[in-house]
């Protein structure tokens, strides 16, 4: 006898243990008492969970990638464990095991062997049938099928019984103890309450009312009873009053006391106590008093994770040690494991795989395998890199960015906030706000400046490449092209709110100007003074207010665009901090833009109105000409200026929103992206691919055609109009991996 056997015999009990008196009672109540429905739900759900065979080493190495062994003889045994009893399928046997385990803390399966000792069947044995367990001296089971009064005893070797046991902490080597025992009082109380309520519907010889007639005789009592039934019985006498004659006669109805009638709340309490004992969410039991869609969905998650997982693990380990390894796999190279029932794991797996794919840490084939798809042998072994992701080898020295002029000391050219100096900007833009463009904005060049000579362009480009970090590879160029296409599509989608806002503002201003003209002419006042008074701070605030919604929309779309480049999932609501920065941006820039637009409108009005009248015109003619001039100018502005402003501000607000997002996400560097076509300013073509720290400004070079500027992002409103109007450039984050 080896050491292990000697230790086992020392601590094994020397006497057998019979089932407790409550065992058979609990097993019977399982079918008659609804308070044990929690055990039924656990048993049925666990029995419906599939059991698979895995290679033990592979499963322990990586259970998510371990492959199921499709063919093994134990599958046939688990699916058809009782060939002699066809009605007992694998589901019924597992249901039996889990139900007994929850109720009395133990369940038994008897192994039926062929002549060559191979297990060919598993037969369920009720815990109440097992009257003797193995001891140190008698290593066998004594079982009475159908109980001690209904069958003959059979003796079974220890290794031929699978014992599922919930350990008794006070006697770990004895019989199991079930969780249902702790609610024995609740179960009995519910039984008594149910039977008491049932008796109310039977005649228990208790009258519903008593009539007192102290001085009456038996004949008088019979007369009163007969009279009462004749006058009050039947539906047609319902609710009629009854008058008793006779001295001291009275009527008294026998009613149930509140304690006797309070079955609803007391039985609800017993029901809830039982469900809580089994940890069953109320929605699973069909109790929907305080439920909603969210709690219903969560109920299944809680059931699978907190209730079913432990019984399933118990079943696996018992079957592995007492069946699989004893009779089918003595080398213990295999393992039985249930399918994953917790949906959270699948969701987490999907999120991890998607994040790995989008971050470029998983190949397409690795993602496909993780999601259960077949690999794409031809095109799948590639990494997907984000638009703004830049590869940087581990042993590569960090790129030292050149020092740039501090933003607080930037000396911008004169007129940096003047988007409307038409006389000074005609050489810099193809479409200034004050003049009708020679062609439609869709076809107008972005800058209109004279092209630089090839020599000057190369000279500035070469100097900038020495001064700044440039991303110049073909892959970087393709990445910038893809980013710009996405940016352009989104920018065009938000032009309409700006255009509608400007058309609305110009329409309202047209009405106010016409009214001011009439009043000035009729009162013999100076029209120029009237227009000057009309375009005051209130007019600027009104225009800013009109554009506010379009500003917020553009900034929000820009932030969403930035999130997609950073690799974050967009959110439906803007954070409070981001909203605060947006409002600050509108306060700082929106009013300035409104003032610039109104100043341009005011200058144009004074010019067209002064040219519209002639000496000698009468009052009516003069008013008519002035109003026609005003209407004509505003009609032109609604057609051309509104579109130019919409195009410029859509790009400006998108780039501003993206930049705010990059700063809030902790991005350290940003990149200028230009459109590589003949409509782009030469200075902006040079800027394509320039990388600077996120807190620094881009230095747009000065050329023979422009003065240059320091800009936080393309479209920065602090820059001269010649660098902003119709600008289609954008800014991208640099995310190093």
Give residue 373's pLDDT: 83
CB–CB of 21/148 below 8 Å?
A: no
Domain residues for the domain of 361 are 343-384
Neighbours of 251 (CB within 10 A): 12
Task: For residues 354 and 500, state if they share a domain.
Answer: no
The Cα–Cα gap between 19 and 130 comes to 7
Helix%, strand%, coil% for the chain, nearest 5 = 55, 10, 35
Residues 680 and 537 grouped into a single domain:
yes
What pLDDT score was predicted for residue 655? 93
pLDDT category, 33, cuts 50, 70, 90?
A: confident
Residue, of 432 and 375, whose pLDDT is higher: 375
In order of 191, 194, 258, 260, the CA distances from 200 in angstroms are 15, 10, 14, 10
Buried/exposed 662-699: b ≥16 CB within 10 Å, e otherwise: bbeeebebbbbbbbeeeebbbbbbbbbbbbbebebbbb
| Same domain flag for 140 and 176 | yes
Does residue 508 lie in a domain region? yes
With CA atoms as reference, report the closest residue to 263 among 208, 199, 196: 196
Who wins on pLDDT, 277 or 344?
277
In this structure, is residue 219 part of a structural domain? no
For residues 224 and 564, what is the distance between their CA atoms, to the nearest angstrom? 92
Return the minimum-mean-pLDDT range out of 83-92, 564-573, 670-679. Answer: 564-573
Least confident range of 43-57, 133-147, 721-735: 133-147
Q: Could you say which of 151, 183, 215 is where a domain stops?
A: 183
In this structure, the answer to whether residues 549 and 678 fall within a common structural domain is yes
Give 526's pLDDT tier (boundaries 50, 70, 90).
confident
Can you tell me the mean pLDDT for 666-695? 89
Whether 85 and 172 map to the same domain: the answer is yes
Q: Is the pLDDT of residue 576 over 70?
A: yes
Identify whether residues 361 and 500 lie together within a single domain: no
Residue 431, pLDDT above cutoff 50: no
Residue 652 maps to a domain: yes
Q: What is the pLDDT of residue 611?
A: 80
Whole-number pLDDT of residue 729: 94
Residue 445's pLDDT is 38
Q: Is the pLDDT of residue 420 over 50?
A: no
**pLDDT computed for residue 46 by the predictor:** 94
Looking at the domain assignment, is residue 202 inside a domain? no
- Looking at the structure, tell me whether residues 440 and 361 fall in a common domain: no
Query: Where residue 241 falls among pLDDT bands split at 50, 70, 90?
Result: low
Q: What pLDDT score does 8 carry?
A: 56
499-514 pLDDT, tens digit per residue, is 999 999 999 999 999 9
> Which pLDDT tens digit goes with each residue over 250-272?
666 656 555 555 666 777 887 88
How far, CA to CA in Å, does 61 sit from each of 319, 336, 345, 408? 21, 15, 18, 58
> Closest Cα to residue 51, out of 91, 85, 109, 97?
91
At 52-95, the pLDDT tens digits run: 999 999 999 888 788 999 999 999 999 999 999 989 999 999 99
Measure CA 379 to chain center: 32
First CA to last CA distance, the chain: 63
Q: How confident is the model at residue 448 (pLDDT cuts 50, 70, 90)?
A: very low
Average pLDDT rounded to a whole number, residues 589-612: 86
Going by pLDDT thresholds of 50, 70 and 90, the confidence category of residue 569 is low
β-strands 106-113, 161-165 pairing: antiparallel
Among 19-33, 340-354, 516-530, 552-566, the minimum mean pLDDT is found in: 340-354
Considering the domain architecture, whether residues 378 and 475 belong to the same structural domain is answered as: no
Which pLDDT value is given to residue 417?
Answer: 36
Domain shared by 356 and 437, yes or no:
no
Do the domain assignments include residue 315? no
Strand-by-strand arrangement of the 130-132 sheet: 130-132, 140-143, 154-157
The answer to the question of residue 154 being in a domain is yes
- Do 663 and 551 lie in one domain? The reply is yes
Per-residue model confidence (pLDDT) at position 18: 56
Instruction: Flag whether pLDDT at 47 surpasses 50.
Output: yes
Contact (Cβ atoms closer than 8 angstroms) between residue 381 and residue 365: yes
pLDDT value for 6? 58
Can you give the pLDDT at residue 439? Answer: 35
Strand 140-143 with 51-55, pairing? unpaired
Q: Give dist(CA 476, CA 478) in Å, integer.
A: 5
**HEC string for 469-522:** EECCCHHHHHHHHHHHHHHHHHHHHCHHHHHHHHHHHHHHHHHHHHHHHHHHHH
CA dihedral 42, 47, 48, 52 (to 10 degrees): 130
The DSSP secondary-structure symbol of 138 reads -
Has residue 113 got a pLDDT over 60?
Answer: yes
Structural domain includes residue 514: yes
Instruction: Please say which residue of 123, 151, 183 terminates a domain.
Output: 183
Domain count, the chain: 3
* 20 against 647, higher pLDDT: 647
- Rounded Cα–Cα distance for residues 668 and 407 (Å): 16
What are the contacts of 617-621 at 24+ separation with CB within 8 A?
Answer: 619/521, 619/522
pLDDT at 4 over 70: no
State how far the alpha carbon of 614 is from the alpha carbons of 207, 299, 515, 623, in Å.
115, 84, 21, 12
Residue 720 sits in the same domain as residue 646 = yes
Average confidence (pLDDT) over 647-674: 91
pLDDT at 573 over 70: no
Q: How large is the average pLDDT for residues 531-536?
A: 89
> Per the domain annotation, does 297 fall within a domain?
no
Q: Are residues 372 and 451 in the same domain?
A: no
pLDDT value at 403 more than 50? no
Q: What is the pTM of this model?
A: 0.47
Q: Mean pLDDT in the chain?
A: 80
Domain's final residue, options 127, 148, 183: 183
């Amino acid at each position: 006898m080896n050491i292990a056997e000697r230790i086992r015999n020392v601590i094994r009990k020397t006497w057998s243990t019979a089932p407790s008196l409550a065992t058979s009672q609990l097993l019977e109540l399982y079918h008659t008492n609804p308070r044990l429905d929690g055990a039924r739900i656990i048993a049925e759900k666990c029995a419906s969970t599939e059991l698979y065979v895995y290679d033990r080493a592979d499963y322990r190495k990586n259970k998510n990638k371990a492959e199921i062994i499709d063919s093994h003889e134990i599958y046939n045994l688990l699916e058809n464990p009782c060939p002699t009893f066809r009605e007992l399928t694998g589901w019924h046997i597992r249901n039996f095991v889990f139900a007994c385990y929850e109720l009395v803390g133990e369940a038994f399966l008897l192994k039926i062997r062929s002549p060559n000792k191979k297990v060919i069947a598993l037969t369920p044995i009720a815990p109440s049938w097992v009257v003797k367990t193995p001891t140190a001296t008698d290593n066998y089971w004594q079982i009475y099928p159908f109980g001690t009064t209904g069958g003959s005893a059979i003796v079974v070797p220890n290794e031929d019984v699978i014992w599922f046991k919930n350990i008794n902490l006070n006697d770990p080597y004895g019989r199991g103890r079930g969780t249902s025992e702790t609610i024995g009082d609740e179960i009995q109380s519910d039984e008594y309450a149910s039977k008491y309520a049932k008796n109310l519907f039977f005649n228990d010889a208790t009258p519903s009312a008593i009539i007192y007639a102290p001085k009456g005789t038996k004949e008088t009592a019979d007369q009163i009873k007969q009279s009462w039934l004749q006058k009050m019985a039947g539906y047609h006498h319902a609710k009629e009053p009854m008058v008793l004659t006779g001295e001291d006669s009275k009527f008294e109805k026998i009613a149930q006391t509140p304690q006797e009638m309070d079955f609803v709340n007391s039985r609800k309490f017993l029901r809830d106590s039982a469900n809580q004992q089994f940890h069953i969410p109320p929605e699973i039991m069909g109790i929907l008093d305080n439920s909603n869609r969210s709690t219903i969905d969560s109920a299944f998650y809680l059931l699978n994770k907190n209730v079913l997982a432990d019984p399933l693990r118990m079943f696996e380990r018992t079957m592995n040690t007492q069946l699989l390894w004893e009779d089918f796999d003595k080398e213990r190279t295999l393992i039985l494991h249930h399918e994953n029932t917790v949906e959270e794991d699948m969701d987490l797996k999907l999120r991890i795989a998607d994040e790995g794919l989008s971050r470029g840490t998983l190949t397409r084939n690795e993602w496909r395998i993780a999601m259960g798809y077949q690999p794409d042998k031809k095109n799948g072994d590639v990494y997907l890199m984000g638009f703004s992701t830049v590869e940087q080898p581990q042993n590569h020295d960090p790129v030292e960015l050149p020092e740039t002029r501090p933003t607080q000391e930037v000396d911008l050219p004169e007129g940096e906030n003047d988007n409307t100096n038409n006389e000074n900007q005609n050489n810099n833009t193809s479409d200034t706000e004050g003049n009708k463009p020679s062609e439609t904005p869709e076809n107008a060049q972005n800058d209109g400046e004279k092209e630089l000579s090839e020599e000057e362009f190369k000279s500035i480009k070469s100097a900038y490449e020495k001064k700044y970090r440039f991303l110049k590879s073909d892959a970087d160029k393709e990445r910038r092209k893809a980013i710009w296409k996405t940016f352009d599509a989104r920018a065009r989608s938000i032009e309409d709110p700006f255009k509608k806002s400007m058309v609305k503002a110009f329409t309202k201003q047209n009405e106010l100007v016409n009214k001011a003209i009439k009043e000035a002419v009729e009162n013999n006042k100076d029209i120029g003074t009237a227009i000057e008074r009309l375009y005051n701070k209130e007019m600027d605030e009104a225009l800013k207010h009109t554009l506010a919604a379009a500003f917020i929309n553009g900034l929000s779309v820009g932030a969403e665009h930035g999130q997609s480049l950073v690799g974050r999932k967009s959110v439906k609501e803007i954070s409070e901090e981001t909203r605060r920065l947006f409002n600050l941006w509108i306060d700082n820039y929106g009013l300035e833009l409104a003032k610039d637009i109104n100043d341009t409108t005011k200058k144009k009005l004074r010019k067209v109105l002064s040219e519209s009248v002639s000496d000698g015109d009468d009052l009516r003619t003069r008013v008519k000409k002035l109003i026609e001039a005003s209407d004509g100018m505003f009609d032109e502005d609604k057609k051309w200026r509104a579109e130019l402003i919409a195009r410029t501000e859509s790009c400006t607000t998108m780039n501003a929103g993206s930049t705010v997002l990059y700063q809030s996400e902790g991005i350290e560097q940003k990149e200028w992206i230009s459109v590589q076509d003949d409509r782009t300013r030469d200075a902006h073509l040079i800027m394509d691919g320039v990388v600077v720290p996120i807190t620094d400004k881009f230095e747009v070079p000065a050329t023979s055609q422009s003065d240059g500027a320091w800009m936080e992002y393309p479209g920065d409103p602090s820059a001269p109009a010649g660098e902003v109007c119709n600008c289609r450039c954008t800014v991208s984050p640099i995310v190093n991996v």
